[in-house]
Structure 1
Amino acid sequence: MYKRFFDLRERPFKLVPNPAYLFLSKGHEEALAHLSYALTEGDGFVAIIGEVGTGKTLLCRTFLDSLGDDVEAAYVFNPRLDGRELLRAINGELGVDATGATTQELIDGLNRFLIDQHQAGRRVLVLIDEAQNLSAEVLEQLRLLSNLETRDAKLVQIILVGQPELAELLDSHALRQLAQRITLSCYLAPLSRDESDRYIAHRLAVASQGRSVPFMRSALRALHRFSGGVPRRINIACDRALLAAYVAGSRRVTGRIAR
């Protein structure tokens, strides 16, 4: 509705993760560095923790898009699955036949695939998004899956991405062995005030092909205060602010409009 009024190609604050709008805060840069390092070293688990709306899924997609042809990756999103279902999902992502297989057959098939990839000089990555939805039993199965190795190398790198509930799970006594295998962990914090301002400007620039839609400083303060620096909440607030400015016939988003 407000796109033509502000001369925008599209709505800049949609909630759908879109790599074209990627904005790397300090926390996101650190998380990507952790992921790249872990893949290069190829040992242990990696855990990326962040509150709802802090950009975890977009971070995952950005990382996966950056991988070279020498990496086979399985991306499992929102896995409310039991152990066998998760194995089938992983095998399916990697192109390993999982039709009608038992749990042991799934593991054996995956192991053969991992050995073949290792011999071909390729690495295998399993990235599980929203991993806080996995049960302790399934997380323990993932630990056992990480035992697949040769004398000199792990055959699969496992990355767990999730909300703070995942950290609570990993701190539990039942998962102490898995927690000991997490070699790198990173927490995605909300954006600072400066990062929030730059995030808004970046998304507007992408949607307007370089032109900016003026958000007054008072509006930026109000938006950060409301959102707490959480990108998803920033998107919701900015989308509503642009709509309110359009309805008011204002070419600027003022503090009063943003509030």
Structure 2
Amino acid sequence: MYLEYYGFREKPFSITPNPRFIFLSKNHQEAFAHLLYGVNSRCGFIQLTGEVGTGKTTVLRTFLNRLDEDGYRTALIFNPCLSSDELLRTINRDFAIPHEDLSRAQLLEVLNTFLLEQREAGRIVVLVIDEAQNLAADVLEQIRLISNLETETEKLIQIILAGQPELEKLLARTELRQLKQRILVRYHLLPMDFEDTKGYVEHRLELASGGVIFSASALKKIFRYSGGIPRLINIVCDRALLVGFAEGSREIRGGMAGTAIAEVENSRRGWWKRLWCRLRLAD
């Protein structure tokens, strides 16, 4: 609706993860550094956690996109609600190796052969499992067994477990202590500070090539409301652009940001109210 008015090529504040719009805040740079160190050091297991909306998935996708295909083979599992056998089958499928009509033992044998071949070719194999806090304990145990595929000197596969803070609680369970002990690199992605929030908004506006600015007061209100969480910033900024369009302004001022925040909050309260009514009617 407002794209043509502001001259945007595309929406600058879509909540869908888009590596092209990646903004490396101080925290995101540290996350990248931890992932790269863990993978290239062949640590075996790397853990990335962060609250909802802090940008974990965007970081992961961008990280994988920046790995040289000649030096790495990668797979990303983003539907962790799988059984142990389904997970193995999905891993093999993503690595484009045999996966249909095979037993668990056969799937592991095929995977092991693939890993040895990649090692001989000088490549590092990276498996990323997103939303790992939703994994069942027996599936996590299967992942630990996959990490046992190794030579006398190094791990054959580098596994990144990414998820919300609940992942840390899950790994604290007694039956998963062996897995937790193997995680040598950990990083918790925190929200952005004000300076990074300001840079984030300006970065996305510049990439979308639009003729609009956010005033200092608008940015401060957006930061206070969002707490520096990228997803919330996107939601409010998108609504603020709509408010600016409605008012015929190419500058998003503090009052417009306040209006956008109020509208977002009203939408949320309305959603919860509709859900509550449906639950009451279901009773």
**Which TM-score bucket, shorter chain as reference?**
over 0.9
Secondary structure at the counterpart of residue 10 of structure 2: coil
- Structural RMSD (CA): 1.1
Secondary structure at the counterpart of residue 202 of structure 2: helix
Corresponding residue number in structure 2 for 1:39:
39
| Aligned residue type for 1:95 | A
2-structure distance, mates of 1:199, 1:107: 43
Using the size of structure 1 for normalisation, the TM-score is 0.96
Corresponding residue number in structure 2 for 1:191:
192
Corresponding residue number in structure 2 for 1:133:
134
Corresponding residue number in structure 2 for 1:8:
8
The alpha carbon displacement at 1:50 in A equals: 0.8
Secondary structure at the counterpart of residue 251 of structure 2: coil
Deviation string, structure 1 residues 151-204 (Cα, Å, up to 9, x no partner): 111111111111111111112212111111000000110111111111001000
Deviation string, structure 1 residues 11-49 (Cα, Å, up to 9, x no partner): 110112112211001111111111111111112310000
Corresponding residue number in structure 2 for 1:174:
175
Corresponding residue number in structure 1 for 2:275:
none
Corresponding residue number in structure 2 for 1:102:
103
Q: Give the fraction of aligned pairs with identical amino acids, expressed as a percent.
A: 50
CA contact (8 A) 1:201 1:212 kept: no
| Aligned residue type for 2:8 | L
Secondary structure at the counterpart of residue 158 of structure 1: strand
Q: Tell me the matched-pair count.
A: 257
Corresponding residue number in structure 1 for 2:90:
89
2-structure distance, mates of 1:59, 1:251: 31
| Aligned residue type for 1:165 | E
| Aligned residue type for 1:50 | G
Secondary structure at the counterpart of residue 5 of structure 1: helix
Corresponding residue number in structure 2 for 1:236:
235
2-structure distance, mates of 1:11, 1:145: 41
1-structure distance, mates of 2:215, 2:121: 56
Secondary structure at the counterpart of residue 37 of structure 1: helix
The alpha carbon displacement at 1:4 in A equals: 1.9
The alpha carbon displacement at 1:119 in A equals: 2.0
Secondary structure at the counterpart of residue 10 of structure 1: coil
| Aligned residue type for 1:132 | Q
| Aligned residue type for 1:207 | A
2:203 equivalent to 1:202: yes
The alpha carbon displacement at 1:212 in A equals: 5.3
Corresponding residue number in structure 2 for 1:224:
223
Secondary structure at the counterpart of residue 183 of structure 1: strand
CA contact (8 A) 2:46 2:185 kept: yes
| Aligned residue type for 1:85 | E
Taking structure 1 as reference, are residues 227 and 190 closer, same or farther at Cα in structure 2, changes over 3 Å only?
same
Structure 1: give runs of 5+ residues left out of the alignment.
none
Structure 2: give runs of 5+ residues left out of the alignment.
259-283
Corresponding residue number in structure 1 for 2:125:
124
Worse-matched range after superposition: 29-38 or 230-239: 29-38
2-structure distance, mates of 1:206, 1:198: 12
Deviation string, structure 1 residues 199-221 (Cα, Å, up to 9, x no partner): 0010001111xx65221111111
2-structure distance, mates of 1:147, 1:42: 13
Worse-matched range after superposition: 199-208 or 6-15: 6-15
1-structure distance, mates of 2:214, 2:119: 52
Taking structure 1 as reference, are residues 48 and 212 closer, same or farther at Cα in structure 2, changes over 3 Å only?
farther
Corresponding residue number in structure 2 for 1:55:
55
